[in-house]
Amino acid sequence: MDALRVTSSPVVSIASSPAASLASSPTPSSPLVSLNSSSVASLASSPAASVAGSLADTDGEGQSADWSDTDGASAIPGTSRASSPEVGTKRKRKRYASDKVAKKEHWRRKRQREQEELGPTAPRPPKHHEIPDIVQATLTPVSHFPVNTTGYTTNRIGSIQPDVVWTFLRLRDISIEKVLAWDGIKPIGILDDEGRIIAVLAGRPIKDSGAGDDWDKVVAGLEAAIAKLKRQSSFTAKDQDHRRGPHPAKAYGVSHGGGQTQPSVLDLGSKKNCRAADAFRSDPSVIRAAHFANAAFSTFAPKLYERYCDYLERLRRHDPTLTWNFPRSVFPAMTVNFGPNAVCYDHLDFGNAAAGWCAITSAGSYDPKLGGHLILFDIDLIVEFPPGSTILIPSSIMRHGNTPIQDGETRVGITQYAAGGLFRYVDHGFSTQDKADPKVRARVLAEGPSRFEKLLSLYSRIDTLEQDRKNMTLYS
């Protein structure tokens, strides 16, 4: 088993262990061989150099704002604190630490209200400007991925091995052995052959210096909220027996496809399920996790994120009855993967937007070095995926799955995404293809062969990422 590890230093290391060790432990144990960080090679040889960075929590619920201590009590000139004020003057009330906290909370809530009034599809440029570490993959998306002729979604291709959770031994049998040792914090971009960031290990929020880090509490809250949602919901046979994994899963939000005549809010089956879903979407920990994923999308794929905002804002204006899951997340849909053992078979989410990113947030109590890895089959890479971290991938075109967790451990998670049918519906003038104006239909059809390649151009490169962020436009 080869292990790929990105460290905090500018050196990326690869470790190799005998195949025999796979039977006892998936973690590499042999000595490390250091490579010069200035060289950029494919995953077949070595990953690229890294540029350190971290993503901060941009959600209002967890946002920190350091206030200067300039609002304390002031003595009146010429008097002592014990003396009476002069005639015609008014003594300022003594300020306490609680006043500072209250003032900070007041402005936090004001910012939150202002942001939520903008709606989930308003572009929110990144407030932080990290450049991620990088791993270079050997991948040519245009020729490799199974995108259909429309360029909106992917062809329906089955699993490599249906209904199989991929252990390290099974992965070795198909020559997937490289492991990326990731701490779940430092952002890492995965680059294609043309240097585009096709996926990103976004990590988790890092608080501003001195503000503390309560993300572990958020993750625990997310896990508890998922467990509560499971207890309060009923599940159909389709929710419990599906092609993605051996665990219950349920979708929420806005979608389009599968014979729908127009986009709609997914039917949850009962008022009881709707009440449970509303409570889940109102949970502060769930909201923060969802909003962080949106911030990561904006930070590492600003041009693609801006396209989502443009299309989905137009859709919301066209049909105000469509309601998003979260006030500050552009993703219109979400799937909750319930525990205790939420691990996926290899699959493609072929209904999702081609080239679009899906945000995967993991939670639970498991050892990420022993299980719960994210497997990226197209680039032969196994990624350690610690609970509480978020990874964004083009799930419609990039085959993915998980390694099993250990007995007695738990793993749950949420994924946020957009159906490719939503973009097709907007392009056809808010209509299905069959009912669209003939001229519009002809234009959309003619653009089909080049659509996917144009979408790929919305991925940023490392050397253009900062400028792409600056170029993001805002709605008036």
Q: Which tens digit of pLDDT belongs to each residue from 252-290?
A: 999 998 778 899 999 999 999 999 999 999 999 999 999
What confidence tens digit (pLDDT) does each residue in 145-185 have?
999 999 999 999 999 999 999 999 999 999 999 999 999 99
Question: What is the tally of structural domains in the chain?
Answer: 1
> Which structural domain range is residue 333 located in?
128-475
| pTM of the complete model beyond 0.75 | yes
Residue 3 belongs to a domain = no
Q: Is the pLDDT of residue 105 over 50?
A: yes
**pLDDT for the residue 6:** 54
User: Looking at this protein, which amino acid is placed at residue 167?
Assistant: T
Residue 377 belongs to a domain = yes
Residue 338 belongs to a domain = yes
Q: How confident is the model at residue 4 (pLDDT cuts 50, 70, 90)?
A: low
Residue 232 belongs to a domain = yes
Residue 365 belongs to a domain = yes
Q: Is the pLDDT of residue 237 over 80?
A: yes
Residue 434 belongs to a domain = yes
CATH number of the domain bearing residue 154: 3.60.130.30
Residue 25 belongs to a domain = no
**pLDDT for the residue 206:** 79
Residue 290 belongs to a domain = yes
Q: How confident is the model at residue 49 (pLDDT cuts 50, 70, 90)?
A: very low
